[in-house]
Every structure is written in structure tokens, then in C-alpha cells.
Structure 1
């Protein structure tokens, strides 16, 4: 069996499952938030703060942030590997996008947990 060193242990099936799982998590989060806005007649700061002060909502939001990052990571990798043929440019762009995603994760984590 031949192993492809460029995939770092990932396969197409692995990416497919991660994309579908992250999309499912994001769909649940969007439906939950839409339901919250539909059933809450007036969203005040106290109601919003109460929603996001519960541990379950913090974990759910952090899970949604991670799902966005996984989805963006795989999507970016697929687009760059399909359309950018130069290895140096592709690597540089992938590095820039990876750093950006890490910054987004840090900002989301700090926002949700209020550190």
C-alpha cells in the first residue's frame, strides 16, 4: 500500500466526514439561535447575557466556532490545492489562512469565556 506523505494522515473520506459533521453542528447552532430570536419577544442585554452565561451555551458556541474553523480549514485547503499550482504561493497562502483561523479561534474563545 502506498501512503501519500502530503496528506498528513488525512483522506478524502476523513475530510468528507469532518465537513458534514461541522455543517451539522453549524446548522443546529443556526436553528437554535433563530429559534431563540423567534420565541424571545424582546432581546435585551439581560436576556442575551443570561443566555450566554450558561455553561451549555458557552460550550455549544465554542463547538460552533470550532466547526467553522474545521469547515474553513478543509475548504481553504481544497480550493488552494485545486487552483494554486505554485507550491510556494500555495504554502504562503495556506500559512496566512491558518494564522487567520487561529486568530479567529482565539478571539472567539476569549469572547465566549470572557477571559
Structure 2
């Protein structure tokens, strides 16, 4: 079996499973936030601030942030390898593919650091 170094998972099966698990986390977070907004009696800055002051909410948000990054990485990696470089250049665009993947990885790290700073910063 050939393993690509730039792939997030160990195989297509693991990538498929990661995407499904992260999708469930994203759905749970979305439903929770929408429910919180709709069912709060006095929704405003104070309620929002109190919600995010709780450790479990920050952990839930961090897990969701990491799930978003994993989900996006697998999806974008699939698009880059399958549709952009292979179809555009006949499969001979390794440098272009690696460049795009490095840029996407750098953006993912930037978003992760930024999100952690927002959630856990002073």
C-alpha cells in the first residue's frame, strides 16, 4: 500500500472515518449554539460571556475548532490531489501540489493558533 506523507490519515478508510466523526462534532456544536441562541431568555453579551467563561464550553469549542481543521484538511487534500493537480496537469504536478498543501497547512496552523488564543488567551 502506498502512503502519502501529506495525507492526514493512514488510508482512505481512516480519512473517511475522521471526516464522519468530525462532521458529527461540528453538527453537535452547531445545534448547541443555535439552541443556546434561540432558547436563551436574555441573549446578549452577558449571556454569551458567561457561556464561554465555562471551561467545558471552551474545551467543546477547541474540539470543534480542531475538528474543523481536520475536516477541512482532508477535504482540501482530496480536492487538491484528485481534481486540481491530477486533472489539470495529467498527474505531473507534484511541486504545485506540495506548494498548495504547504500553504493550506500553514493556514490551518495559523487558524489553530489564533483560535486557541481567542479561547484561552488573556
TM class by shorter-chain length?
Answer: over 0.9
Is 1:52 equivalent to 2:19 in the alignment?
no
Gaps in structure 2 of 5+ consecutive residues: 87-92
Q: After the TM superposition, which residues 15-26 of structure 1 pair with which residues of structure 2 at under 5 Å, given as runs?
A: 15-26=15-26
Give 1:69's aligned residue. Answer: 69
Is 1:27 equivalent to 2:34 in the alignment?
no
Q: Distance in 2 between matches of 1:5 and 1:64?
A: 27
**Could you tell which deviates more after superposition, 73-82 or 3-12?**
3-12
Would you identify which runs of 4 or more consecutive aligned residues in structure 1 move more than 6 Å?
Answer: none
Give 1:99's aligned residue. Answer: 106
Q: Describe the superposition over 1:49-90 as per-residue Cα deviations: whole angstroms up to 9, x where unpaired.
A: 100000100000000000000001100110011021311001
Q: Distance in 2 between matches of 1:12 and 1:5?
A: 10
Superposed CA RMSD in Å reads: 1.4
Q: Distance in 1 between matches of 2:4 and 2:29?
A: 33
Give 2:96's aligned residue. Answer: 89
Structure 1 counterpart SS, 2:28:
helix
Q: Distance in 2 between matches of 1:104 and 1:68?
A: 10
1:5 to partner: Cα distance: 3.5
CA contact (8 A) 2:15 2:74 kept: yes
Gaps in structure 1 of 5+ consecutive residues: none
Name the count of aligned residue pairs: 113
1:40 to partner: Cα distance: 1.1
Q: Distance in 2 between matches of 1:111 and 1:17?
A: 29
